[in-house]
């Protein structure tokens, strides 16, 4: 996966309408996306180049990634929703791995 290409694809993707009403443990998926997206933006900025996060942001992204993986494992998502959250999980892993 090319981080820059994947990041640009994700930035231009609309949040899946089918996921708007969905929540995990009371957390709306749109809020999870916003929180993870802010952390990814702190690293990937606009060019998609992975930059290290400070310890606090890294811990926050690790927690968000756990939730994203739970969404993928526990919720029934349509193909668009699954692709969106899989991309979010992949990007989170790239940033956490520092690649």
Tens-digit pLDDT profile for residues 51-73: 999 999 999 999 999 999 999 99
- pLDDT at 79 > cutoff 70: yes
Taking the model in full, what pTM does it have? 0.94
Cβ-based neighbours of 21, under 8 Å, separated by 6 or more = none
- Between residues 57 and 99, the one the model is more confident about: 57
Q: How far apart are CA 79 and CA 20, in angstroms?
A: 14
Q: Give the integer Cα–Cα distance in Å for 70 and 82.
A: 12
């Amino acid at each position: 996966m090319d981080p820059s290409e994947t990041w640009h694809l994700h930035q231009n993707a609309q949040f899946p309408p089918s996921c708007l009403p969905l929540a995990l443990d009371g957390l709306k998926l749109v809020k999870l996306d916003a929180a993870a997206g802010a952390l990814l933006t702190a690293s990937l900025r606009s060019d998609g180049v992975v930059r290290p996060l400070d310890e606090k942001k890294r811990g926050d992204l690790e927690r968000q990634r756990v939730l994203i993986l739970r969404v993928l494992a526990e919720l029934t998502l349509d193909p668009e929703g699954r692709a969106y959250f899989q991309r979010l999980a992949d990007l989170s892993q790239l940033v956490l791995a520092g690649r």
